[in-house]
Amino acid sequence: MSVYLVTGAAGFIGANYVHHLLEWEPDAQVVAVDYIGFAGNLANLDSVIDRITFEKADIADLEVMEALYRQHRPDYVVNFAAESHNDRAILGPSSFMRSNALGAQVMAECSRLVPVRSHVHVSTIEVYGELAEGDKWFTEGSPLNAKTPYSAAKAAGDQMVRAYMQTYPEMNIRMTHCANNYGAFQLPEKLIPLAVTNVLRGKKVPVYGDGLQSRDWLHVADHCAAVHRVLHADLDPIPAAAATEPGLLPIFDISARWEVTNLDIARRVVTALDLNPDEWIEHIPDRPNHDRRYLINPDKIESQLGWAPTHDFASGIAETVAWYVEHRAWWEQIIADKGELGFDWSQVGTAATPR
């Protein structure tokens, strides 16, 4: 029986991974770790809580995390834990740096001190920054060029994990970058669940600026399957050439090649709710330093590990919208606990307030 330690397990992607993991390996022992910060929601694990061991802990606390490692002796570690919303990062960057940078280092250090079979650090497309006009996509060899507090904190964590890969090659540590995820359990501060929950409460869907910011979209179930594939892949040792060619490191970019504008996403959501997008979408002031476009190329994970997405984008969006319609009590409780989750940037800079 394998022991999995999954951090950020009460968040959007982490909770989905725990659910899928228990389907793929019903006998697995799952240690779900989360400190239940702003985006953590223990209710995401309600249906499996009797099949896991839940530990409330901060991944940036080395003493606490090392003790958990020594107690549970994990075979596999997947670090999903992160503060992940650009808007909140603009208002309060420090907590993002703690979780995304220091937390990544602490997790890597724990896997060094208490060795595991493999360790996956889950990162984001946004560490690459904004795609230059005329460029098709980023790859695993692209330079890190983060431009927002959130993505810069993630990039700092990435740099530390890359250093561990090359300094301690015996650790078997891997990394993934993912496109924008969508699916069940996503906090309704992100575009798709925010749009659905607004419309269901009679409010319009807010779209930043002209809405033509272009994003790369990936169903969360496809992402979880890709992470699991990376975790268990039999990889060759890191070659010496990786010192100057980062694309040779055990890093895999995960994308379904669905590039869609924010405005189109909003229109798809409203249409899925059988309403007229022209009547239910409003353009609001853009947030500061908003990336215009980014896209990643999944050729490496497809060719080397045989992964491919299985969810069609149009049906995936429709099913996601239906999930939020059917789980109204879930998101109503979140809004009751946290307040409105959209942001109003009509006042410049850090004066933005939830709308």
What letters, b where the CB count within 10 A reaches 16 and e where it falls short, cover 243-252? Answer: eeebebbbbb
Q: Count CA within 13 A, CB hemisphere, residue 283.
A: 10
Domain count, the chain: 1
Give the model's pLDDT for residue 83.
Answer: 84
The whole-angstrom separation of Cα 241 and Cα 238 is 8
Q: What is the CATH number of the domain that holds 152?
A: 3.40.50.720
Token pair 């022209």 is at which residue? 278
User: Mean pLDDT in each 10-residue stretch from start to end of the chain (355 residues)?
Assistant: 97 98 98 94 97 98 98 98 79 86 98 98 95 92 93 96 97 97 96 97 95 93 98 97 97 96 97 97 88 92 98 96 98 92 67 55
Residue 319 placed within a domain? no
The whole-angstrom separation of Cα 231 and Cα 121 is 10
Residue 66 CB coordination number (10 Å): 15
The whole-angstrom separation of Cα 100 and Cα 90 is 15
Residue 286 placed within a domain? no
Eight-state DSSP code of residue 207: E
Could you give the 3-state DSSP secondary structure of residue 92?
Answer: coil
- State the residue range of the domain holding 15: 3-187+217-259+294-312
Residue 231 placed within a domain? yes
Residue 136 placed within a domain? yes
The whole-angstrom separation of Cα 348 and Cα 282 is 19
Characterise 237 by phi-psi region: left (phi > 0), alpha (psi -120 to 50), beta (else): beta
Residue 34 placed within a domain? yes
Find out whether 354 and 340 touch, Cβ atoms under 8 Å.
Answer: yes
Residues in the chain: 355
Phi/psi of residue 179, nearest 5 degrees:
-75, 175
Question: Alpha helices, DSSP H only, in the chain?
Answer: 12-24, 62-72, 86-91, 93-97, 103-113, 149-167, 191-200, 220-232, 262-272, 277-280, 299-305, 313-326, 328-338
Residue 122 placed within a domain? yes
What letters, b where the CB count within 10 A reaches 16 and e where it falls short, cover 134-164? Answer: eeebbbbebebebebbbbbbbbbbbebbbeb
Residue 246 placed within a domain? yes
Structure tokens of 4?
């999995």
Find out whether 99 and 60 touch, Cβ atoms under 8 Å.
Answer: yes
Residue 226 placed within a domain? yes
Structure tokens of 53?
């061991």
Give the model's pLDDT for residue 352.
Answer: 56
DSSP of 48-88: GGGGEEEEE--TT-HHHHHHHHHHH--SEEEE------HHH
Give the model's pLDDT for residue 94.
Answer: 82
